[in-house]
Structure 1
Amino acid sequence: MSKFTPVVWPKVILFGDSITQFSFQSHGWGAEIANKLARKCDVVNRGLSGYNSRWAKVVLPRLLGGQNSAEHIAAVTVFFGANDCSLEDKNPQQHVPLQEYSENLKDVGKLLSSAGVSSDRIIFITPPPLHEPAWEKECLLKGSPLNRSHAVAGQYAEACVRAAGQVGADVLDLWTLMQKDGQDYSVYLSDGLHLSEQGNQFVAQHLWGLLESRVADLPFILPYWGDVDPSSPESSLLRDQ
């Protein structure tokens, strides 16, 4: 059997809560990023619905794997806060106090750095704004009162921006961008909390603006089909790139 070098795909890891987990659905922002990076990079969805930053920093080392696991990671997005900002008296299970949330994000950044993912490859994403009337309907359908606040979500978004600066990571401030110039941010949300199709497009567009420079130099993996020698495909397909 002829010897060959295994093909290694670099990775972009999407780490977050349900807004990340759902991002691989049809027209989702994660699926859009994965499509842009086909044949260049694997986009790995590590979204965990319902999770907060407290739980995130506990499970992150298990998700990263063992030694040299970060060697081929091109970028990591860290997208928590939508559950952390739950009101303590209405949703204590998911609520994380603001200061702890900030520290948890910084700990996530430090864990990634200690695993070999440099801070310039980390992108924090703030929670989006919350449309209270729509989310209250969802809560009432489940037999509970409104358990989140638009203003409180904004405080967590600000904390996310500060934490990113303190660990040297980039940040996508959805809270600010979705409300820029007084625009109606509710169109970006399907139920007041999670993203609509338009919201997914918004996130994909702005995230790509931050990701593109980090993946611009990644090569096209394996030869273009027209460049394969049909008389001796092995000579094209088994050579190192």
Structure 2
Amino acid sequence: MTSFRGLLKYFTVAACVLCSVKTVSAASDSGFKNRTTVLLAGDSIMEQATEPSVDGFISLLAGRYSRSADMIVRALSGYNTRWYLKYAMPGIEEEITRGDYNPALITLWLGANDAVRCTSPFHSTSKNLIKIVEKFQAVAPDSKMMMVTPTHVGDAARKKFAAERTDSKKGLLDRSNAMMKPYARACVEAAKEAGVSVLDLYSHFDAMTVTARDKLLVDGVHFNAAGHLVVDEKLRATILKEFPEVNDLLDTYQFPIVSRWMKDDPYVPETTK
């Protein structure tokens, strides 16, 4: 049986589509356009965002823009910036060079795993992010780029997780909100040095009360449905502000709406002889 939340999500997305029909149809009257693609590079926070069961923000984006764009997800759970640069980027670069897709926008959301027990110095995180941006710019010079900072950590949930472990790491705190702060700052500085836009989600959530922000996480790290909704709203607002041309592409259907063909190519019964 379809859940109430599932129905609510469906009708919310449908309402967004219907509200945008006037704009979309006006932009689509010239006919077919090339399919827009958005590349989303990141770690498990982004990987879990593909899950419709938790209303993941990528699933929301894919539903909202199903008529206009494809979301290309290269999100790898557990990867830090060093591993992503060393092991993921060569394959992604090859995909783009080969022409598999030509992203209008690339979002880069890494750094949370660099902060796990501070195993990667935050100055290295900044350097790695800049190198990743440079590699993207080399193979996709016309793509817009946006970094997203590591987000906040729910300290109580991570302490509980550490206490309940049964391995040699029992009791060891893997990350904390305080640990994450310099890595978020490193991301902001990297974006500034690389000359790309940045969405500072850490500062956004950190400004909330501890109770309010922790309610948006399931395990102190990953978002629940309410958290994904906030991220979705912040991403769309940033795209609209920083990349209006990309926003226009997302709001433009790949193929005209059916009313055009109802007007221009109506069914005409064949005359019988």
Fold match (TM-score > 0.5) = yes
Whole-Å Cα distance in 2 between the matches of residues 223 and 180 of structure 1?
A: 43
Query: How far did residue 139 of structure 1 move?
Result: 3.2
Deviations 1:6-54 (A, max 9, x none): 9742210111000000001121111112222221110112111111101
1:190 pairs with 2:218? yes
User: Whose Rg is larger?
Assistant: 2
1:32 pairs with 2:22? no
Confirm or deny: 8 A CA contact 1:13 1:76 kept in the other structure. Answer: yes
In 2 relative to 1, CA 77–97 (structure 1 residues): closer, same or farther, beyond 3 Å? same
Deviations 1:95-138 (A, max 9, x none): 3221111100000110110012447x111111111111101222
SS across alignment from 2:38: strand
Deviations 1:160-185 (A, max 9, x none): 00101111111111110012254631
Aligned to 1:47: 75
Deviations 1:46-68 (A, max 9, x none): 11111110111121231241536
Root mean square deviation, CA, Å? 2.2
1:131 pairs with 2:154? yes
What are the residue-to-residue correspondences of 1:104-115 with 2, within 5 Å? Answer: 104-115=128-139
Aligned to 1:227: 260
Whole-Å Cα distance in 2 between the matches of residues 103 and 68 of structure 1?
A: 27
What are the residue-to-residue correspondences of 1:21-170 with 2, within 5 Å? Answer: 21-26=47-52, 27-58=55-86, 59-64=88-93, 65-67=95-97, 69=99, 72-88=102-118, 95-118=119-142, 121-143=144-166, 144=169, 145-170=172-197
Whole-Å Cα distance in 2 between the matches of residues 187 and 181 of structure 1?
A: 11
In 2 relative to 1, CA 117–30 (structure 1 residues): closer, same or farther, beyond 3 Å? farther
In 2 relative to 1, CA 23–54 (structure 1 residues): closer, same or farther, beyond 3 Å? same
Confirm or deny: 8 A CA contact 1:52 1:81 kept in the other structure. Answer: yes
Structure with a larger share of its residues in helix = 2
Number of residue equivalences: 220
Aligned to 2:202: 175
Q: Could you tell me the percent identity over the aligned residues?
A: 29
1:205 pairs with 2:233? yes
Deviations 1:199-230 (A, max 9, x none): 11111100111223242332311121222225
TM-score after normalising by structure 1: 0.83
In 2 relative to 1, CA 62–7 (structure 1 residues): closer, same or farther, beyond 3 Å? farther
Deviations 1:132-154 (A, max 9, x none): 11012223434332111221100
The one-letter code of the counterpart of 2:257 is Y
Whole-Å Cα distance in 2 between the matches of residues 191 and 117 of structure 1?
A: 38
SS across alignment from 1:51: coil
List structure 1 runs of 4+ shifted beyond 4 angstroms.
Answer: none
Which structure 1 residue ranges, 5 or more long, are not aligned? 1-5, 89-94, 233-241
Confirm or deny: 8 A CA contact 1:139 1:147 kept in the other structure. Answer: yes
